[in-house]
Amino acid sequence: MIVTLILVVVAFLALGFLVRLAKEHACASEVLENPVEHLRTVDVEAFRNLVDPGKEKVLRASLPPPEFRRIQRERLRAAAQYISCAAQNAAIILPLADAARRSPDPATAETAEKLVDNAIRLRLYAIQVIPRLYLRMILPAHA
């Protein structure tokens, strides 16, 4: 019974992922026409504050447990949104940097290559981190 439930959940997650991928693909041409309109601001200092273990310890010590869990869920949700925005920005930058890799100027091509590598790395990290954050929201004692 549990294995079946896990398989159903995984199937729904995969379906959701595929639907999201299809939506992103459909919006790709619109994004390439005017990428600056689609970039989203990410406040790095606010993100660092949200994921700072020291701040979490202070909150844990100063708040009653139910209040701490509620606030910690909000903090983790906000951190996941920041990471999602950064990953979306990287996805917008990828085709632009990929085109710049074919530049005849070696410095431009090299910089574009680094940008492509960093954007891909950021998206891969986001794929790993966002589920962990949501898992910590659901099971705070186990993550």
Kindly list the domain boundaries of the chain, sorted by start residue.
1-27, 34-138
Q: Quick one: average pLDDT of 22-27?
A: 65
For residue 32, pLDDT over 80 is answered with: no
Tokens standing for 20? Answer: 């999201």
pLDDT tens across 120-130, in order?
999 999 999 99
How many Cβ atoms are within 10 Å of 82's Cβ, its own excluded? 19
Q: Specify whether the CB–CB gap between 74 and 103 falls below 8 A.
A: no
pLDDT tens across 56-108, in order?
999 999 999 999 999 999 999 999 999 999 999 999 998 889 888 998 999 99
**What is the spatial distance between Cα 103 and Cα 97, in angstroms, rounded to a whole number?**
10
**What is the spatial distance between Cα 22 and Cα 120, in angstroms, rounded to a whole number?**
19
Higher pLDDT, 21 or 113: 113
Banded pLDDT at 11 (limits 50, 70, 90): confident
Banded pLDDT at 25 (limits 50, 70, 90): low
Exposure letters 68-79 (e unless 16+ CB within 10 A, then b): beeebbebbebb
**What is the spatial distance between Cα 112 and Cα 95, in angstroms, rounded to a whole number?**
10
Banded pLDDT at 114 (limits 50, 70, 90): very high
Phi and psi at residue 103, to the nearest 5° = -70, 145
